[in-house]
A = this chain, B = another copy of it.
């Protein structure tokens, strides 16, 4: 019997080695897998490359990971937020490398990795500093920039419900990067509010089929609420 449910947060991230590239879901705190990130902090892996939309809020989740100086580099679209002071300080001190990617190119590069696309021409960013040095091409009268897929060793994502085959559904805009990151990592780990029996998820509404998910770990509902509360 295949059972992708892992007993604990700590067990779910135990094997992540130093130097890994790790995708972390979320748009701000919506969809941010804070419980998994906290487990990753406890686990101690360092020299990480982080791929995500933002660079952490206040001193929780991703920001706490950065504060613990576990990340060598971050690839994201919007590091600067009202409460991103941890990242801001590291960046200004030259203590973290930043690869800034327009959000749609970030999403498409992640999707391309999951979909086996070798590279793609995108109109986004053409003629801007974020396309400097990149190959460009005029196609049917429009200018495009060539972008490459973003693969990861691990993806940490947050979903609402999951089953032992790794099928996932999300909640509202907390879906955001979860489905594409799950597809782009060698090992995708999902924290879910609830583990449900196989067959409880209607096959028409499964957003991430289990083929993209290697581990599922349940976190207590109140933990989810606490994270949401912290975002406010």
Contact = CB atoms under 8 A, between A and B. Distances in A.
Given A169-B204, A205-B205, A119 B139 contact: yes
Interface in A178-197: none
A74 to B, nearest CB: 22
A123 B119 contact: no
A99 interface: no
Contacts of A133: none
Interface stretch (A4-12, A60-68, A140-148): A140-148
B108 A118 contact: no
A117 B140 CA distance: 12
Interface centre among A117, A144, A169, A171 (most CB of B within 10 A): A117
Give chain A's interface residue range (CB within 8 Å of chain B).
20 to 34
A117 B119 contact: no
B123 A121 contact: no
Contacts of A120: 112, 117-121
Given A117-B120, A119-B139, A169-B204, 17 more contacts: A108-B115, A108-B117, A112-B120, A116-B123, A117-B121, A118-B120, A118-B121, A118-B122, A118-B137, A118-B139, A118-B144, A119-B144, A120-B120, A120-B121, A202-B205, A204-B205, A205-B205
